[in-house]
């Protein structure tokens, strides 16, 4: 008999599959070539049970979903105060690749590109290669397996990353960026090109939801406080310039990426991952948003409900 959680995921996929508006990201050719029909959804409990439906094997590049996890790594290495000497806490109200700086010259938050590049640069390493290996290993610890890089996407990111290099130059000029622009952007391009599946993403979220312990491997990846700080910024800034409406309608800390993935977490309960490459004008997966919203509505997942519950 199908488990009720699997049934819930399958039902949500079926009910939102007809939502075919939007378009795959076209800022790099490799992402534009993604199969627009891909659609997968996974839920992983903090006890380690894995549930999934749809395209759960299909790999996609993690893109901006990497940002909260690299932020968590930087927090683990340096602590909240030192990290936030370089990057702010506040939603920018602007696009992910905007020039959003606070009066102190810090990018608004670690979930936009400028803030993520600064955060990546805070991860210790003698060069981009060593820094990236630490990032790859941390992302793998969150996912519970070794994660590789999509070399074609990486080549595309490098070839077209002028705006990100420009953002990095500005953070260097404002004093927010530590080290060299090229070392920061190269590690950032590599981190965006790490390949994951929806199950990986759900395990990563469940690790944050469980206070920093990966529920599948039982390895402690970050401290509970780091997990909490990370979820807090996902809640306020994770869905690009849709974070406010997302907070009202879905009510789970989340982070989206331009390849069509979304990670979301219910602290103390479970992590979710969804993937569908067609994006709306803001850059969020159209079906991913629709699926998580329906799941939240149908099963009472909003964290601000008086009695949230998977049973609704």
Nearer Cβ to ligand GLU (96/246): 96
State in angstroms the smallest separation of the CB of 216 from ligand GLU.
Answer: 25
User: Could you give the CA distance from residue 129 to residue 137 in angstroms, rounded to a whole number?
Assistant: 12
Active-site position among 64, 76, 156, 285: 64
Active-site position among 240, 256, 286, 289: 240
State in angstroms the smallest separation of the CB of 133 from ligand GLU.
Answer: 19
Q: Are 283 and 96 in contact (CB under 8 A)?
A: yes
Nearer Cβ to ligand GLU (150/210): 150
Nearer Cβ to ligand GLU (39/240): 240
State in angstroms the smallest separation of the CB of 62 from ligand GLU.
Answer: 8
Torsion of CA 221, 225, 229, 231, to 10 degrees: 60
The DSSP code for 199 is H
Q: Are 136 and 198 in contact (CB under 8 A)?
A: no
71 is catalytic: no
User: Could you give the CA distance from residue 40 to residue 13 in angstroms, rounded to a whole number?
Assistant: 8
67 is catalytic: yes
27 is catalytic: no
Q: Are 165 and 185 in contact (CB under 8 A)?
A: yes
- How many separate helices (H) and strands (E) can be counted in the chain? 13, 7
Give the residues lining the site for ligand GLU (CB under 6 A).
Answer: 63-64, 96-97, 113, 157, 164, 192, 257-258, 283
State in angstroms the smallest separation of the CB of 266 from ligand GLU.
Answer: 23
Nearer Cβ to ligand GLU (253/283): 283
Radius of gyration of the chain (CA): 18
Nearer Cβ to ligand GLU (207/259): 259
Q: Are 171 and 114 in contact (CB under 8 A)?
A: yes
Pick from 117, 113, 83, 89: nearest CA to 102: 89
State in angstroms the smallest separation of the CB of 256 from ligand GLU.
Answer: 7
64 is catalytic: yes
255 is catalytic: no
State in angstroms the smallest separation of the CB of 305 from ligand GLU.
Answer: 29
Query: How is residue 8 written in tokens?
Result: 């819930």
Contacts for 122-131: CB closer than 8 Å, 24+ residues apart: 122/74, 122/77, 122/78, 122/82, 122/83, 122/86, 122/178, 123/70, 123/73, 123/74, 123/77, 123/187, 124/77, 125/187, 127/183, 128/182, 128/183, 128/184, 128/186, 128/187, 128/190, 131/183, 131/187
Active-site position among 52, 188, 226, 274: 188
Nearer Cβ to ligand GLU (139/301): 139
Active-site position among 194, 258, 263, 289: 258
Active-site position among 46, 67, 83, 263: 67
Q: Which residues are catalytic?
A: 64, 67, 188, 240, 258
């Amino acid at each position: 008999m199908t488990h009720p959680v699997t049934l819930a995921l399958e039902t949500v996929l079926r009910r939102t599959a007809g939502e075919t508006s939007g378009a795959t990201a076209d800022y790099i050719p490799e992402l534009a070539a993604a199969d627009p029909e891909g659609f997968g959804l996974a839920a992983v409990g903090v006890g380690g049970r894995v549930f999934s439906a749809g395209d759960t094997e299909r790999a996609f590049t993690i893109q901006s979903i990497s940002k909260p996890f690299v932020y968590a790594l930087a927090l683990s290495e340096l602590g909240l105060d030192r990290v936030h000497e370089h990057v702010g806490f506040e939603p920018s109200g602007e696009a992910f690749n905007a020039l959003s700086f606070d009066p102190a010259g810090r990018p608004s938050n670690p979930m936009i590109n400028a803030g993520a590049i600064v955060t990546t640069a805070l991860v210790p390493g003698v060069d981009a290669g060593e820094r990236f290996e630490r990032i790859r290993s941390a992302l793998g610890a969150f996912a519970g397996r070794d994660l590789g890089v999509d070399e074609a996407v990486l080549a595309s990111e490098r070839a077209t990353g002028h705006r990100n290099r420009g953002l990095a130059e500005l953070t260097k000029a404002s004093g927010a960026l530590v080290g060299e622009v090229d070392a920061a952007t190269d590690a950032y391009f590599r981190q965006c090109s790490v390949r994951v599946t929806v199950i990986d993403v759900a395990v990563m979220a469940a690790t944050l939801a469980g206070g920093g312990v990966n529920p599948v491997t039982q390895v402690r990846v970050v401290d509970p406080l780091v997990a909490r700080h990370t979820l807090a910024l996902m809640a306020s800034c994770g869905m690009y310039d849709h974070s406010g409406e997302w907070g009202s309608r879905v009510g789970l800390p989340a982070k989206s990426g331009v390849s069509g993935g979304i990670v979301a977490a219910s602290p103390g309960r479970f992590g979710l991952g969804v993937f569908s490459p067609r994006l709306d004008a803001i850059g969020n997966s159209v079906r991913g948003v629709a699926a998580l919203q329906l799941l939240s509505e149908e099963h009472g997942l909003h964290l601000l409900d008086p009695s949230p519950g998977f049973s609704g």
